Structure 1
Amino acid sequence: MLATVAVLLAAATAQVSGHYTFPKVNNAADWSYVRRADNWQSNGFVENINGNQIRCFQNNHAGAPSVLSVAAGSSINYQSNQGVFHPGPMAFYMARAPDGVDIKNWKGEGAVWFKVYHEQPGFGQQLTWSSNGKSSFPVTIPRCLKAGNYLLRAEHLALHSASQPGGAQFYVSCAQLAVTGGGNTEPSGQYLVSFPGAYRANDPGIQININWPIPTSYKNPGPAVFSC
């Protein structure tokens, strides 16, 4: 009986250790600039892309205590609590809060999100992503962005079980930024999406068998990456 319990506990520990969350930027304390995600204890993932958790992995949209000041054109490091060990792409989105609105209380609703980075795989005998095994991910704030308060959304899309609808795993969180300097650009039109709404379960970059037959191409879900 004790041996059985030990085996079950070991299996549960292994499962949790294979998952992760994104709690900090630039080596700051966990959840100081990043809104505390609902997986802060479980390391779980978002499965329902049509629910509110796909935005910042929160049901209540509670703000973080602090806002990180960052110059447009500079790079910050978004960090996970342990290595990202599932295959799949990293992506980053931003959304600008309206002037005069407290970023800590802003929910990021509507078509306000634009993508600033997504990762493409390497192709060969299998698909490989450079994010695999890493726990720190640099992201550059576009130099032309209009100054203001933004949410920066980190997303890792794990594809190891994505051959069936609903099998993809989303690991998400949102940091609060005060972007300084920059230009006068506010992305618009085709670059803007909403969460939920940006993704569908059968998008080719979400429902995909990465194991067999080995893909020779990959289309990231969501809009094109915005660039200045």
Structure 2
Amino acid sequence: MKLSIAIASLAAAAAQAHYTFPSIGNSADWQYVRTTTNFQSNGPVTDVNSEQFRCYERNPGTSAPGIYSVAAGSTVAYNAKASISHPGPMAVYIAKVPAGQTAATWDGKGRVWSKIYQDRPTLGNTMTWPSNGVRSINVQIPRCLQNGDYLLRAEHVALHSAGSVGGAQYYISCAQITVTGGSGTYSPKNLVSFPGAYSATDPGVLINIYYPIPKSYTPPGPPVETC
């Protein structure tokens, strides 16, 4: 009985250490963000080759209720439920919805994603991560985007157990947005697909962040695109 209680307590503590990304701006949870598989468990994706690695959708093909309007060049908050409690990099990707579809109908498949935000650690006696402990990430929407619908993909890579293959944990969600006031000159040079963009052995994914303390760090995926 005591062992069962101890195991249950450990499981509860692990769940409390996890998190989701359920909202953008000042909106309600899952109003503009597609409900993720971990909406109750808070658990991560660990397989970079899984279809879940794209948007971690609980019910693929089921959109969020709304599409969030944002002006190109403005900053939008992508919010975590519970703070980001594991060490690791935060990234945000964007993908233009093709003609004939909307942010509520498109699945985001293909080599269509570009990175618009990436943080990096401060290196020293420890690795200090700017996203650690925060509840939202402020992301600037490129001013040069074409007007129209997009999917906005938040991704936090937790590296506390990343010393072995498959140990990295990914916390992911996709928001449905429409962009207005863009210049239309955005021309990303490094489009990627999900799955496909990462390997389980990428140096920013397979890494011991505790000992010896790394002297450098390269986040997974492409570089950040600029206008």
Same fold (TM over 0.5): yes
Verify: 1:110 aligned to 2:103, yes or no. Answer: no
CA–CA distance in structure 2, aligned partners of residues 126 and 19 of structure 1? 22
State the one-letter code of the partner of 1:197.
G
Q: In the alignment, which residue of structure 1 is the partner of 2:185?
A: 185
Percent identity between matched residues is 52
Q: In the alignment, which residue of structure 2 is the partner of 1:57?
A: 56
CA–CA distance in structure 1, aligned partners of residues 185 and 65 of structure 2? 28
CA–CA distance in structure 1, aligned partners of residues 187 and 38 of structure 2? 30
User: What are the ranges of 5 or more consecutive residues in structure 2 without an aligned counterpart?
Assistant: none
Verify: 1:166 aligned to 2:166, yes or no. Answer: yes
What TM-score, normalized to structure 2? 0.96
Helix, strand or coil for the counterpart of 1:15? Answer: helix
Q: In the alignment, which residue of structure 1 is the partner of 2:223?
A: 224
User: What are the ranges of 5 or more consecutive residues in structure 1 without an aligned counterpart?
Assistant: none
CA–CA distance in structure 2, aligned partners of residues 204 and 147 of structure 1? 36
| Shift, 1:48, TM fit | 0.7
Q: Between Structure 1 and Structure 2, which shows a larger proportion of strand residues?
A: 2
Q: Is the 8 A contact 1:114 1:187 kept in 2?
A: no
Q: In the alignment, which residue of structure 2 is the partner of 1:18?
A: 17
* Range with bigger deviation, 52-61 or 115-124: 52-61
| Shift, 1:6, TM fit | 3.5
* 1:25-51 superposed Cα distances (whole Å, 9 cap, x missing partner): 113111000000111011010011001
CA–CA distance in structure 2, aligned partners of residues 145 and 15 of structure 1? 39
* 1:159-207 superposed Cα distances (whole Å, 9 cap, x missing partner): 011011100000000000000011112434x420000000011110110
**How many residues align structurally?**
226
| Shift, 1:4, TM fit | 4.0
| RMSD, aligned α-carbons | 1.2
Q: In the alignment, which residue of structure 2 is the partner of 1:48?
A: 47
State the one-letter code of the partner of 1:32.
Q
* 1:27-86 superposed Cα distances (whole Å, 9 cap, x missing partner): 311100000011101101001100111100126242111000000000010111101110
Q: In the alignment, which residue of structure 2 is the partner of 1:131?
A: 131
Correspondences of 1:198-217 after superposition (within 5 Å): 198-217=197-216
Q: In the alignment, which residue of structure 2 is the partner of 1:176?
A: 176
State the one-letter code of the partner of 1:79.
N
What TM-score, normalized to structure 1? 0.96
* 1:137-156 superposed Cα distances (whole Å, 9 cap, x missing partner): 11000001111100000000
CA–CA distance in structure 2, aligned partners of residues 67 and 16 of structure 1? 30
CA–CA distance in structure 2, aligned partners of residues 218 and 65 of structure 1? 38
CA–CA distance in structure 1, aligned partners of residues 61 and 52 of structure 2? 9
